[in-house]
Structure 1
Amino acid sequence: MFIKAFKVKSNSPLKGSERKKLYSEISATFPSLSDEQIQNILPKKEAVSSIKIMTHSGEIGKLFCASDVPMFFQLDSGIYPTVYTLWQYPDLLHSFTTHHAVIQKLASGADLMLPGVVLEGPASLHAYGKLEKGTPVSVNTSDNKAAVAVGITAHSSYDLYMAGGRGRCVEILHALGDTLCQLGKPPMRPNLGVPFAQEEVDDDDEIMPEKLQELDIADEIKTETIKERLTEENTDENREHEESVKSVENEVPSEKLDPIQQMDKLLEYCFLKACKISIKKGDLPMLSSNFFKNHLLAVCPPDQTIDVKKSSYKKLSVFLASMKSKGIINTSTMKGVETLLSVKTDHPLIRELVIMEERAPVEPVVSNVPVVAECYRVTADVFPVLSKFGCDKGDILTRAEVRKCFTEYVKKENLQDGKILTLNPQLAGILRTKEHQETLGWEDALNKFIGRMTHTHQVTVAGTRLVRSGKLEPIDITVATRSGNKKVTLVNNLETFGIKLQEFSKECQGIGASATITDVPGKKMPSVLVQGNQVLYVYKLLTEKYQINKKYIRGLEYAPKQRK
């Protein structure tokens, strides 16, 4: 479900009524959770956002995040907890246990197969629980009760028992390490202890006939019946999965690695991790020394230290030559200086790498520069058209997104003839054209369509997103005269762009003029008052430091005229 990147269609904080509705839905779906526990997962004092998404397969869903960490996801089939919620309440769903080595397969998009399931004791009718097909379940590992995946049962518990240890057990919806886990800065997987004490079971023990006798159906069910229950299309996949699990079970514990081997393993892991999550395409080419310092060392787990001299490679150039021989990277050396030219991101070693610790050990730099975007809210007028593309009433779309949906609608209805559109009854009703008008220019039709939507603006500052209806009022710079014919500069609407007035007034004092925060009659927000005509300085401060687009600044004409 979340193996490939998904598209975010909207992201908005939950209102009080929406939050209560979500609490009620979670309580109805998971009755074992008390109101206090639900509020612990989605605290009232923290921001809870609803993110509407479209998966790579085209399925529409929602994510509910607390402090940017996804705690629940909602699909057409219902609402499900993420692994982060299950780390707090591990008994919320029925759990299946698997081997630690299977995590990598689940993270790569595979479902959990019956050969990979670890049972508590011998196989019996109730060893797989008392579940119906399609029941939400979690997956943990034999060495840690903390969940690594969430999915639904592929068959009922009875069918899982009758399958004889072959076939699909859980259809995975979300797994540790997928794109859902890349939102925000999620916590590390805790160690909640082993799920149960494993007991050795001899493969030659005849368990099935004994249990069948207990049910008094041994004479009625034959081997052929069991084979008919197996899905033929899964046979090859089951065999491959079973062999991989057997190799894990039969693996002889190796002797403890010596320090040199441990350093080799750490160096290779951090190299692959840096290639997977740290290096961007635009970063290359790059000096190998910069790669080592800014990328490889940066992704090293916080409790470990890399020292190339303590590895078997001894030198960074020797290590990179080894990685180049494996086809992972391409390098060149000129005048004794080595440069990293390219990284093969689809290399199996990079693609199959599972990152178990936090993806970003270094705190990201949050920009305080406001990012302004003019958007449009879906209204009842345009909903009949935009609903065909997964949009709901109230969704926020950019002009480009509206144009794309409108274009696809026109093509689908075969309404375009060059730059002229033929109006069908639905489109004519939305655009409210004249009664006998049958055609309209392309751009005119698009502008009229957008005109039926609510104009909004979105300002993002330091990760905080503010959405307000109506057109964005620009920053207003005016010059007024006070007593003694002294000029003062007033700057209004700064808070609309997320600029803190106290911080801005201190910036204005850098030119030696006093600056205060004052209320101006007729203005809804407080203004910053700067002594003297400082229009040019304020304009330069807004455009250069705060990077406000000049189209959102009004009043430059009040700047003092330059003498010739």
Structure 2
Amino acid sequence: MFKKNITVSQTSLLGGKDNKSLKAAAKKSCSSLSEDQLSDLFSSKALITLSKLNNRSLVYGSEGGDPLFFDPTGHGDRLFPTVYTLARFPDMLEKLYTYSPVSDKVLGGADLFLQGLILPTDQPIPAFLAGSVRALCVPGNPIPFAVGTMAVSRTEAQQAGMKGRGLTILHSFGDLLWQLGSGAAPNAGFTPSRIHPLPDQAGPEDEASPRAKSSVDSPSDDAEPDSPDQTEEAVPSIESLSVAEESSAPPPNGAVSLDEMLEQAVLGGLQTLKAIELPIQFSDFYSKHMLAHRPPGVTFDLKQSKYKKLSKLLDKFSKDKVITQKVVRKQDTISAVDRNHPQLAGFTPAAAPATAPSSASAPAQAPAGPSTSAGLVITPCYRAPATLRPLFGPEAAADKDRLYDAAEVAAALSSYAQQQRLRGAGGTIALDALLRSALFGKKEEVSVGSAIPERALVAKLTDKLQLHHRLTRQTPQGPVSTVRKGVLPPITIAAGKKRGHPITTISHMESFGFVPDDLAKDFQKAFSSSCSVGELPGKQEHDMEITMQGDLGAKVAVWFTAHHGIPAKYIDVKGSKKA
């Protein structure tokens, strides 16, 4: 909060009574401070100043010296020590640890994400509550370099898979609050761009130490571990991706290098990336699109590649103008993709099936296919708007709500090109007036007659269609199929309270073919809990909601997976405290 321009609007000396009140408030906020330490900070002879800043915060400091405490809201209800004070008494707050390479992001103004934490590997994660105060350190350097409040509790963090915002940074070394003081670095490890461990204090928890297995999933550019171990379903660190998705074995020997495999995974991921998903964060692009194009049995370790970081890898494609980057809320994102770029349009995945059509007249493969898991089949499908129905023939005009899977979309474009004699050399299709107006924007530099690779046109066409999902779930009575428009919502299980008693609500079960009334009866038998069914609040909601007595969220999630094969990634549990 002290990264933007701040000015001191008023400064005054505190009287003896105010000095005693400040001392009591400091003791209340930092209960570990001893009486000797408090007396050292607020001696009877010390002159304490109160400075009011234009961002409404209050800063308390010694006259002509360094700021000691600050009140971020100006309400006088909570005091936080400055890094100057933490340098004098490093243990006055409970500490969190992060990697040295992450510290430059925090010093730059970013909050710390949970995946940037160094967690204990041989003991439980220390307890914390949302809003609790923590100091942030780098292992091997005993002095904290930032102070902030926890954005979530330990329970919420574990339920989120240890991903997402963890520590909201209020003040850090080098910010404008720090510059109100002398500016002297606490020790040699403090530099303007990064906090380093001290050579004589680096130990087993230094920046090379692995993170605990419980700290998985994705980071963001705000806080990246140096080389954390992560699982395949985890989202990697943006700045330092060292991932062992399936095993720690090195990639199999072959002609394709790790650099080439990473580049191919980016191109393959861009082909499956839909326009509706843009802008997309780098880490989400990696987990949702790049991993799907990783060769079987291969480990991606960016630290072993020439790029070293995911951001550097994507910078290459940005410089080549395959993608456009944009910073959204301090996060690096992919904001646009040039589907006509030769690198992307001419790319063929190395792992493509041998039976894939290779002739120029064969239909191009659409980028998305069905996802199958334990009796559940999820297939993306598409509905053609009025402007694109001519591409799909007279059947589309007769049935406006007909849905097409990925293969049918590619086949329809191929058939249209054949009928209109638009095919060119090298697997290209010449644009006619319909294709030009329906698939390309006015500012895109293509015209009628332009030859576009068929694969690129399939991707363009898919982006312009209305996305649906067809779900088929196997039941003892036979398969149950449902179709949902747009992005597939997960089953949402949330803990709450009603009249002071814990309750659990379940919604969006219709996406997976469940009938709410029947499901409520199953829950009554399985959990011996009373259930009721009602409408979800909100004008845009059409699904129902089941309300159960008790905190049963975690058990209900396990029940869905065990009895109906619903993968955990399609179940969103919020706030449940019981496993």
Q: Which structure's CA Rg is the greater one?
A: 1
Do the two structures share a fold, i.e. TM-score over 0.5?
no
What is the TM-score normalised by the length of structure 2? 0.34
